[in-house]
């Protein structure tokens, strides 16, 4: 678990940033919940371990990590931002509208797509965000059985 942690820390250090307890904690939490956290969720988790940690620190840290390219800022649902540790390989999101489950996917088609669009519109593309929404197999099955879908834990 600490291989990736050390990696992230070294980027911070190289950038001339200090490795504080708060930053260590947040980095670790983002890795454990390798998924997609929003600021409040992260705040809640962090305060279980360090009750004095403030929401400003969350935002400042996420902003910093985002600037350094260590985390991505996602705009998935209708609401606020979500963040994820920036993956080495590009990937995108498939969201279940019923239970909120988020599945990551990657596909060679996505690269073909961005290349085609870049060529056609003479853009230099630096970021691609592909978010698909729909219903997962579980929720479709539950719906067929007349059950309510349960939101993700």
Using CB under 8 A, list all residues that contact its own copies.
73, 75-76, 78, 81, 94, 96-97, 103, 105, 107, 109-110, 112-114, 116-118, 120-137, 140
55 contacts 43 by C-beta, under 8 angstroms:
yes
For residue 31, the partner it binds in DNA, its own copies, none, with Cβ less than 5 to 8 A by kind, is none
66 contacts 72 by C-beta, under 8 angstroms:
yes
Find, among 39, 80, 46, 43, the residue nearest to 63 by Cα: 39
Residue 50 or residue 147: which is nearer to DNA going by CB? Answer: 50
For residue 40, the partner it binds in DNA, its own copies, none, with Cβ less than 5 to 8 A by kind, is DNA
For residue 112, the partner it binds in its own copies, DNA, none, with Cβ less than 5 to 8 A by kind, is its own copies
118 vs 110: CA distance, rounded Å: 12
22 vs 74: CA distance, rounded Å: 22
Query: At closest approach, how far in Å is the CB of 141 from DNA?
Result: 30
14 vs 72: CA distance, rounded Å: 19
83 contacts 122 by C-beta, under 8 angstroms:
no
Judged by CB under 7 A, the stretch of 15-23, 95-103, 111-119, 126-134 that binds DNA is 15-23
Judged by CB under 7 A, the chain residues 60 through 119 that form the site for DNA are 60-61, 63, 79-81
CA atoms 138, 139, 144, 150: torsion sign: positive
Residues that bind DNA (CB under 7 A): 13, 17-23, 38-40, 50, 52-57, 59-61, 63, 79-81
């Amino acid at each position: 678990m600490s291989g990736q942690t050390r990696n992230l820390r070294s980027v911070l250090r190289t950038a001339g940033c200090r490795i504080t307890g708060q930053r260590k904690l947040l980095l670790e939490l983002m890795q454990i919940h390798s998924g997609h956290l929003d600021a409040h969720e992260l705040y809640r988790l962090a305060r279980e371990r360090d009750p004095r940690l403030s929401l400003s620190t969350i935002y400042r840290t996420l902003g910093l990590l985002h600037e350094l390219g260590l985390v991505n800022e996602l705009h998935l649902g209708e609401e606020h931002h979500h963040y994820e540790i920036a993956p080495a390989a590009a990937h995108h999101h498939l969201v279940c509208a019923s239970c909120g489950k988020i599945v990551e996917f990657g596909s060679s088609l996505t690269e073909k797509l961005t290349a085609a669009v870049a060529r056609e519109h003479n853009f230099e593309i630096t970021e691609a965000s592909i978010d698909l929404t729909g219903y997962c197999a579980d929720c479709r099955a539950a719906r067929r059985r007349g059950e309510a879908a349960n939101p993700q834990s």
